[in-house]
């Protein structure tokens, strides 16, 4: 059974290489490089954009502000097509991941569409195992110590603590006390005024949604404001790391 699964994973990886090569994208074993970029900046932007044009423009604004990792949630209509189109447009200058991934089939579809990392609101060992086969960074969601340890031992690169708005920075600090070796990324309720507190409490990165990019900003074409917000979030990450 394990031999069959290994062969299947190999075939899927080959298909991914072929698809990316066909579309003119560079294929590499990206896990370590992508993880380093995410850790260095400390922010993943969470976007819900229904068109590749809106996402491309928002991504460029975020990149200009210093944020290189963008999560496109699968709850967005046509999310996989959007990811594929934007990756073709922007190449390797921005990391695009898929969020709200609930099962292995969805994770596989996202990876084949070009997703460079996978984020889930829950802890699915099957999703983690699939991503490890592809050497794609995976950030499963968890809330309790048991869930967090389960995700980490299954191979998570970083554990998404969700919803972080419930426990706040104090919860991250409490969790890191017995689990200092586990990289954590709080998501939910992250604002400019609490980012430094989450980071100084022990978070490796934060996931930011509407406080960074929202429908109003996209509809108004306020890309300069998105760039400015990105810069402020990164400043707060640096300030938090100086405190820790």
Instruction: State yes or no: is 160 an active-site residue.
Output: yes
Interatomic CA distance for residues 104 and 18, integer angstroms? 21
Lowest mean pLDDT among 40-49, 79-88, 140-149, 196-205: 79-88
pTM: 0.86
Q: At what angle do helices 125-134 and 2-22 cross, to 10 degrees?
A: 60
Instruction: Provide CB contacts within 8 A for 221, sequence distance 6+.
Output: 57
pLDDT average, residue stretch 119-128: 97
What are the structural domains of the chain? 2-243 (3.20.20.70)
pLDDT average, residue stretch 13-22: 43
| Secondary structure class of 177 (helix, strand, coil) | coil
Give me the percent of the chain exceeding a pLDDT of 70.
87
| Secondary structure class of 187 (helix, strand, coil) | strand
Residue 54 has pLDDT above 90, yes or no: no
Q: Which position among 3, 7, 92, 160 bears the catalytic label?
A: 160
Q: Which position among 2, 7, 22, 71 bears the catalytic label?
A: 71
Instruction: State yes or no: is 176 an active-site residue.
Output: no
Q: Which of 153, 149, 150, 110 is closest to 131 using CA atoms?
A: 110
Per-residue pLDDT at 145:
97
pLDDT digits (tens, 9 = 90+) for 160-184: 999 999 999 999 999 999 999 999 9
Q: Which of 96, 204, 212, 99 is closest to 157 using CA atoms?
A: 204
Per-residue pLDDT at 152:
98
Interatomic CA distance for residues 101 and 238, integer angstroms? 29
pLDDT average, residue stretch 232-243: 97
pLDDT average, residue stretch 85-110: 93
CB 72 within 8 A of CB 106: no
- Mean pLDDT across the chain: 88
Interatomic CA distance for residues 72 and 138, integer angstroms? 14
Residue 5 has pLDDT above 60, yes or no: no
């Amino acid at each position: 059974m394990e031999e069959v699964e290994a062969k299947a994973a190999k075939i899927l990886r080959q298909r991914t290489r072929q698809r990316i090569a066909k579309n003119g994208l560079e294929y590499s074993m990206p896990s370590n490089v992508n993880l380093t970029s995410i850790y260095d900046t400390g922010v993943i932007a969470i976007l819900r954009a229904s068109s590749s044009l809106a996402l491309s423009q928002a991504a460029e604004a975020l990149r200009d502000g210093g944020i290189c990792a963008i999560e496109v949630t699968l709850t967005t209509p046509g999310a996989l097509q959007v990811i594929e189109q934007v990756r073709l447009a922007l190449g390797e200058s921005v990391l695009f991941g898929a969020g709200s991934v609930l099962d292995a089939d969805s994770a596989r579809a996202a990876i084949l569409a070009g997703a460079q990392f996978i984020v889930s609101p829950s802890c699915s060992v099957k999703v983690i195992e699939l991503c490890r086969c592809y050497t794609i960074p995976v950030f499963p969601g968890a809330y309790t110590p048991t869930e967090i340890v389960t995700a980490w031992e299954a191979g998570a690169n970083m554990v998404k603590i969700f919803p972080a708005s419930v426990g706040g920075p104090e919860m991250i600090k409490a969790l890191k006390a017995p689990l200092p070796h586990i990289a954590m990324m709080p998501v939910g309720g992250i604002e400019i005024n609490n980012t430094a507190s989450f980071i100084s409490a022990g978070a490796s990165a934060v996931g930011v949604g509407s406080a960074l990019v929202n429908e109003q900003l996209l509809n108004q074409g306020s890309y300069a404001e998105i760039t400015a917000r990105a810069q402020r979030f990164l400043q707060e990450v640096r300030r938090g790391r100086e405190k820790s």
